Amino acid sequence: MSLNRKIGMWLYSNSGGDKIQKKIIKKLRERDIETINDIRLHDCIAQNGHIYYDKLKVDKLDLFFSYNAGEQTQYQMYLYQALNRVIPMINSYDAFALTEDKFHTSFVLRNEGIQTADYKLCHRDNGAALKKIIKQWDKMVYKPTDGWGGVGLTKIENEASLDMLMPFLNQMDLRYFYVEKFIKYDNTDFRVDVVDGEFVACYGRKANGTDWRTNITAGGSVFMREANDDIINTAINACKATGVDIGGVDIIYDLEKEEYIVLEVNGIPAFATPEQEKMGLDFNNKKIDLIVDLIDRKIAK
C-alpha cells in the first residue's frame, strides 16, 4: 500500500526528544502517514510560491508539525508564518505567535473569562502610569512580553524600587511596559499538558529557596503533583481560548483571591525527560498517541 499522506516534522532532539521523534514517526507509519523528519525552516529557501528544503517542496506536504523551542530563529518564524498560509501546521502560526507574547495571551484569556494575574500595558512614554499602578498594587512584576525561563522578570516591591528601575528600562529602548500584579502564592505551580482539548498530565514546579519564580532555569524543581477538575478545566479552556492544539498551561493558586490563575500558555511544552520519567512522570506515550490522532484527523482525506 502506498503512503499517500506525508507530513513534515521538526522536533527537538535533546532531553529525550530523539526517542520521541522515532515513536511518533513509527505510530504515524502504522497509519500510512509518512514523516519527513528534521525539516529546519531556518535552512529553507522560499522561491516563487514554494518553500524548499533542499529539493523538497515543504508547501506540498499535508501538514507540518513544529516542536522545537530551543532552536527557533526569526527567519524560521517568518517562514512558519508563510507556510501556515498554505498548509495546516501544529500549532497554527497564529496560536503559537499568540502564546509567545505574554500581553496578547493575558488579553485573550481575560477576554474569554479565564483568570490571569491582573496586568497593565502602557506606552514607554507613560511612566507616570506605572507610578500610579504601583500605588494601587503594592507589589508588581515587570515582564518582557516575549521572555521565557523567568529571564528578565523583575519584582518591583515599592515606589522607590520603581524609581530605581525606570532609568534602566528607559535605556533599554522598549516600546511599552507590561506589568502584572504580584500574586501572593506558595511559590509552586501546576504545569498542565493538553493536546487536542484533552488533559494529558500535570506536574508541579517549586521555586528554589527564596526565589519567587518556579522556572527550572531559575533553579526551580519538578515534583509529582495531581490536578483537580478546576485546574484541568482552566487549562483546557486556556488552550481553547488561545487556539493551541498542543499547550502546556502554567497555573498558580492566588492565595488572596482564592482561585487558580493562568500565568502563561506554552506552545511547545516539553515531553518528560528521561530523568523525569524515572521520577514517575509517565505521560509521554499518552501525549504521543493524542498527537498522532490529532495529525491523522487534520490530514484526513
Ligand X SMILES: Nc1ncnc2c1ncn2[C@@H]1O[C@H](COP(=O)(O)OP(=O)(O)O)[C@@H](O)[C@H]1O
Residue 6 or 206 with smaller CB distance to ligand X: 206
Least distance in Å: CB of 149 to Mg ion?
7
Query: What's the min distance (Å) between Cβ of 147 and ligand X?
Result: 5
- Helix ranges restricted to H, the chain: 17-29, 74-83, 93-99, 102-111, 127-137, 159-171, 229-242, 274-279, 284-298
- 231 within 8 A of 170, measured Cβ to Cβ: no
Smallest separation, CB 190 to Mg ion (Å): 12
Q: Which is nearer to Mg ion, 100 or 264 (CB)?
A: 264
Burial class (CB in 10 A: 0-12, 13-18, 19+), 46: middle
- The one of ligand X, Mg ion, none whose footprint includes residue 5, by CB under 5 to 8 A per kind, is none
Residues of the shown chain interacting with Mg ion in the complex, contacts defined by CB under 5 A: 250, 264
Q: Closer CB to ligand X, residue 71 or residue 186? A: 186
Please state, in angstroms and rounded to a whole number, the distance separating the CA atoms of residues 98 and 77.
Answer: 13
Are the C-beta atoms of 218 and 211 separated by less than 8 Å? Answer: yes
* Contact present, 172 and 259 (Cβ < 8 Å): no
Q: Binding partner of residue 153 among Mg ion, ligand X, none, CB under 5 to 8 Å per kind?
A: ligand X
Which residue lies nearer to Mg ion by CB, 207 or 294? 207
Calculate the dihedral angle through the C-alpha atoms of 2, 5, 10, 13, rounding to the nearest 10 degrees.
Answer: -40
189 binds, among Mg ion, ligand X, none (CB under 5 to 8 A by kind): ligand X
Q: How far is the CB of 141 from ligand X (least distance, A)?
A: 5
For ligand X, the closer of residues 82 and 97 by Cβ is 97
> Which option in ligand X, Mg ion, none does residue 141 bind, with CB closer than 5 to 8 A by kind?
ligand X
Tell the smallest beta-carbon distance from residue 212 to ligand X (Å): 5
Could you say which of Mg ion, ligand X, none residue 59 binds, taking C-beta under 5 to 8 angstroms by partner kind? none
183 binds, among ligand X, Mg ion, none (CB under 5 to 8 A by kind): ligand X
251 contacts 262 by C-beta, under 8 angstroms? yes
CA distance 28 to 6: 10
> Which residues contact ligand X (rule: CB under 6 A)?
102, 117, 141, 143, 147-151, 153, 180, 182-183, 189, 207, 212-215, 250, 263-264
Give whichever of 180 and 264 is closer to Mg ion, judged by the CB atom: 264
Assigned C-alpha cell, 113: 473569562
Cell of 147: 521572555
Which CA distances in Å does 254 have to 120, 134, 245? 18, 19, 27
